[in-house]
Amino acid sequence: MITGDLKNKIDRIWETFWTGGITNPLDVIEQFTYLLFIKQLDEVETQREADAAILGYEPDKIFPDEAQEYRWSKFKNLGDAAKMYELIQNKVFPFIKNLHSDSESAYSRYMGDAIFKIPTPGMLSKVVDGIDGLGLDEANDGGDSKGDLYEYLLSKVATAGTNGQFRTPRHIIKMMVDMVQPNPGDTIIDPAMGSAGFLIEAQNYLRQHHSDLFMDDDQREHFNNNMFYGNDMDTTMLRIGAMNMMLHGVENPNISYRDSLSESNADEEKYSLVLANPPFKGSLDAEAVAANLLKVTKTKKTELLFLALFLRILKKGGRAAVIVPDGVLFGSSKAHKQIRKEIIENNKLTAVVSMPSGVFKPYAGVSTAILFFTKTGAGGTDNVWFYDMKADGFSLDDKRQPVQENDIPDIVARYGNLEAETNRKRTEQSFVVPVEEIKNNDYDLSINKYKEIEYVPV
């Protein structure tokens, strides 16, 4: 989590933008991100030079010899604000926009229309000093301080809640990724990707658990070019997501501006893993929705349509770990029942993890659950594992302070050994329910339907 000291520093930078006339929070985040990106390119280059010096080879250069003055470590010490401003505006910024201009990469598509908006040398100088003083050292923290920094910046976007864009907390994403265990052969998509949190976490997991994939040319090629896919409808988020992926070392992520639910999305049986927290609140113009999704569940509710989409875009045997609002689990409309029946009868539902309603605070107080299922096209649901998560390591109020209670390690461990769960009682925090019982209950997946409560006499 981000500390008070770091928060204050970020707030001061934010205030510099604000008082300098950049008042739209997304503009602030974007300009902030560009500068962070420029700084991190320099850090990546410095790290490469150090590695190359130890191993005695010539490093791959991001900054060619004639562009050395564009490096953060060089221009931050110029001492002349006007000179630095001119250099960044006329040289450094065009340089980062054209980093991949030779290719059709996501980066070049979304950076093409990036605009440098900082109006004055004095303001730029303050912001550069501020970012330089943040002390974000990627090497020592597994790269998560940047994620936390993004979370914090995004939490300042007052619009974040209104257009359904609230962030998925990092520790919940990590839990889901640890449970599905991505492997080097996977093709992974988040069809509502935001700033690409799920994709970043999946690549972290692969680096930690399958580092040998980088020794294999084919696997490395797959990792950099064809493993990660993300769609979103917001170009600012796409830009932030593309920069985020590149900074985490995925060279060419497939990030597209696309309404995943519309006819224009023709993906079918293409991916082996879906990780997502699709937007809940929206209801859509039914005309725009792809006809083959409406066949599965006739509805305008985005959360149901996204489930139908996941089933369509997964290959046979592909897995999904997705967050849904509680209503999906017990909603009694025909559309709700249709989609639950489709997942349970025609595919394999493995697990339902119910989360407490504070998990998404301060953005939203909705109760949610995570569904884990595999696309089979031929049924296969036998027993469904339920877990009642009561604590996620943070207080469940708007403050979300770290606390001792945390079910996440238990959830990951038990999910990894479902055989051992079959004998647990319904009064425990996790238990197994046979599929017949779920069918007889109108495919209801809310844990309270099956949980038994022990009344202890007072």
pLDDT in tens, 164-210: 456 788 899 999 999 999 999 999 999 999 888 899 999 999 999 99
Q: Across the strands, what pairs with 322?
A: 276, 371
pLDDT score recorded for residue 141: 44
pLDDT score recorded for residue 151: 66
Rg (CA), the chain: 23
Instruction: Say whether both 341 and 417 belong to one domain.
Output: yes
Which of 420, 372, 367 lies closest to 389, judged by CA?
367
**Banded pLDDT at 409 (limits 50, 70, 90):** very high
In angstroms, how far is CA 131 from the centroid of its own chain? Answer: 24
Instruction: Say whether both 36 and 125 belong to one domain.
Output: yes
State whether residue 328 is helix, strand or coil: helix
E strand or H helix that includes residue 128: helix 121-132
Range with the lowest mean pLDDT among 41-55, 124-138, 163-177, 288-302? 163-177
- 112-116: Cβ within 8 A, 24+ apart: 113/235, 114/30, 114/34, 114/239, 116/31, 116/34, 116/88, 116/89
Domain endpoint, select from 98, 116, 151: 151
Instruction: Say whether both 267 and 332 belong to one domain.
Output: yes
Instruction: Say whether both 332 and 198 belong to one domain.
Output: yes
Which of the 8 DSSP states describes residue 262? Answer: B
Instruction: Say whether both 147 and 274 belong to one domain.
Output: no
**Banded pLDDT at 37 (limits 50, 70, 90):** confident
Query: What sign for the dihedral angle of Cα 130, 243, 302, 390?
Result: negative
In angstroms, how far is CA 42 from the centroid of its own chain? Answer: 25
Question: Following DSSP, what letter does each residue of 170-181 receive, concatenated?
Answer: HHHHHHHHHHH-
Q: Global pTM? A: 0.84
- Please report whether residue 158 resides in a domain: no
- Any idea how long the chain is? 458
pLDDT score recorded for residue 166: 60
- Please report whether residue 157 resides in a domain: no
Mean pLDDT across the chain: 88
Instruction: Say whether both 170 and 140 belong to one domain.
Output: no
CA distance 334 to 329: 13
Domains: count for the chain: 2
Domain endpoint, select from 122, 151, 180: 151
Q: Across the strands, what pairs with 276?
A: 322
pLDDT score recorded for residue 161: 46
- Cis link prior to 362 (omega < 30° from 0)? yes
Query: In terms of DSSP bridges, do strands 348-355 and 383-388 run parallel, antiparallel, or are they unpaired?
Result: parallel
Which of 215, 222, 231, 216 lies closest to 187, judged by CA?
222
| Over residues 104-121, mean pLDDT | 79
Structure tokens at 323: 């967050």
Instruction: Say whether both 326 and 359 belong to one domain.
Output: yes
- Please report whether residue 90 resides in a domain: yes
Instruction: Say whether both 170 and 117 belong to one domain.
Output: no
Q: Is the pLDDT of residue 271 over 70?
A: yes
Query: In terms of DSSP bridges, do strands 254-257 and 383-388 run parallel, antiparallel, or are they unpaired?
Result: unpaired
Domain endpoint, select from 127, 151, 175: 151
CA distance 251 to 105: 9
| Over residues 247-251, mean pLDDT | 77
State the CATH number of the domain containing residue 324: 3.40.50.150
CA distance 142 to 64: 28
CA distance 217 to 222: 9
Q: What angle do CA 244, 67, 116 make, to 5 degrees?
A: 50
Strand extents, DSSP E, 253-367: 254-257, 271-276, 314-325, 348-355
Instruction: Say whether both 101 and 38 belong to one domain.
Output: yes
**Banded pLDDT at 146 (limits 50, 70, 90):** low
pLDDT score recorded for residue 114: 81
- Please report whether residue 457 resides in a domain: no
Q: Are 300 and 405 in contact (CB under 8 A)?
A: no
In this structure, what are the phi and psi dihedrals at residue 208, rounded to the nearest 5 degrees? -75, -40
Range of the domain at 85: 4-151
Query: In terms of DSSP bridges, do strands 188-190 and 271-276 run parallel, antiparallel, or are they unpaired?
Result: parallel
